[in-house]
Amino acid sequence: MRAAIPTIAQLRENSLSGVVRHEIERLILSGELPTGSRVNENAIALRLGVSRGPVREACRALVELGLLDLIPNRGVFVRRMDRHDVEEVYDLRAGLTGIAGSLLAPNISDADVERLRALVEEMDEAANAGDFRRFYPINLAFHDIILQLTGNSRLIKSYRALVKEFQLFRTHGLVQGDALRESNQEHRAILAALERRDPRATYDASFQHVQHGKQRMFAAFDKLTQAGTGSARQGYGHPRSIE
């Protein structure tokens, strides 16, 4: 039996729901829709000038992505991560980051090594200045470039989904003290292993980098909790940390 050919109306609706999904995702990741808050479908539809259908479809997709929770008879809420969720995401990302490094190591070009080295040098400057706002996007780019260079589309898709989940529970506590410099020393270890074209060493350096990031995050969060700050009492949420 032949699959039904989608109509123009269906294609238009799917395209519209995709646009709506990206906008809701932006609101979540920017913190404009904070963790634990209810997503008001009517308000979103009015804001974007669309019907509730594409909003509902977009919310379903974001539930699948792990950014929203659907609670029967109550509605859709921005996901609030507990400690177990955080551990799971960190551990999975550690594995994916390690796999990406081990896949890339035998095949990385000299030009790509230098490209990554330039990012590490930029992060050094930002870390020495204690400039988190500058450090953070370069940090994301460093890891994303390694993923891109593997050419493994499934690995890239899975990793980027985890990065989005990460932004639900990041905390500024990790930018205090030597956290930025510690993180970038670990980037240097990854780079050195890639430069040697050593898959095992690259896996280990990449895996340990994310695991150390998890330890830094929990230590910072526990410190905030002990201090009794409001952001800590509210659970794992915005703003962001580093790995």
pTM passes above 0.85:
no
66 and 104 share one domain:
no
161 and 181 share one domain:
yes
Which residues have a Cβ under 8 Å from the Cβ of 204 and sit 6 or more positions away? Answer: 98, 193
88 and 35 share one domain:
no
Which residues have a Cβ under 8 Å from the Cβ of 67 and sit 6 or more positions away? Answer: 25, 28, 29, 78, 79, 164, 165, 168
114 and 215 share one domain:
yes
What pLDDT is stored for residue 22 in this prediction? 86
51 and 71 share one domain:
yes
Helix, strand, or coil here: 81? Answer: strand
Domain that holds residue 32: 8-78
What pLDDT is stored for residue 242 in this prediction? 53
Strand segments, DSSP code E, in the chain are 68-71, 75-78
Q: What is the CATH number of the domain that holds 67?
A: 1.10.10.10
Q: Is there a cis peptide before residue 72, judged by omega within 30 degrees of 0?
A: no
Q: What is the CATH number of the domain that holds 129?
A: 1.20.120.530
68 and 17 share one domain:
yes
165 and 221 share one domain:
yes
Helix, strand, or coil here: 70? Answer: strand
User: Alpha carbon of 20 to those of 29, 30, 56, 75, 225: distances in Å?
Assistant: 14, 15, 9, 18, 36
74 and 128 share one domain:
no
Q: Is the distance from CB of 101 to CB of 193 less than 8 angstroms?
A: yes
158 and 71 share one domain:
no
What span, in angstroms and rounded, lies between the C-alpha atoms of 185 and 183?
6
What pLDDT is stored for residue 136 in this prediction? 85
Question: How would you write the pLDDT of the chain (243 residues) with one tens digit per residue?
Answer: 444 444 434 445 457 888 888 889 888 877 788 888 999 999 999 998 899 999 999 999 888 888 888 999 899 998 887 788 889 989 999 999 999 999 999 999 999 999 999 999 999 999 999 888 899 899 999 999 999 999 999 999 999 888 887 777 654 445 555 888 999 999 999 999 999 999 999 999 999 999 998 888 887 777 766 765 544 444 444 434 556
What pLDDT is stored for residue 141 in this prediction? 95
Domain boundary among 34, 55, 78: 78
Instruction: Determine, yes or no, domain membership for 25.
Output: yes
What pLDDT is stored for residue 146 in this prediction? 98
Instruction: Determine, yes or no, domain membership for 225.
Output: yes
Phi, psi of 26 (to 5 degrees): -60, -40
20 and 115 share one domain:
no
Q: How many domains does one find in the chain?
A: 2
Instruction: Determine, yes or no, domain membership for 195.
Output: yes
In sequence order, the β-bridge partners of residue 70 are 76
Neighbours of 184 (CB within 10 A): 25
CA–CA–CA angle 111, 117, 119 (5° rounding): 110
16 and 126 share one domain:
no
Domain boundary among 28, 56, 78: 78
Domain boundary among 18, 51, 78: 78
What pLDDT is stored for residue 230 in this prediction? 46
What span, in angstroms and rounded, lies between the C-alpha atoms of 231 and 225?
8
173 and 72 share one domain:
no
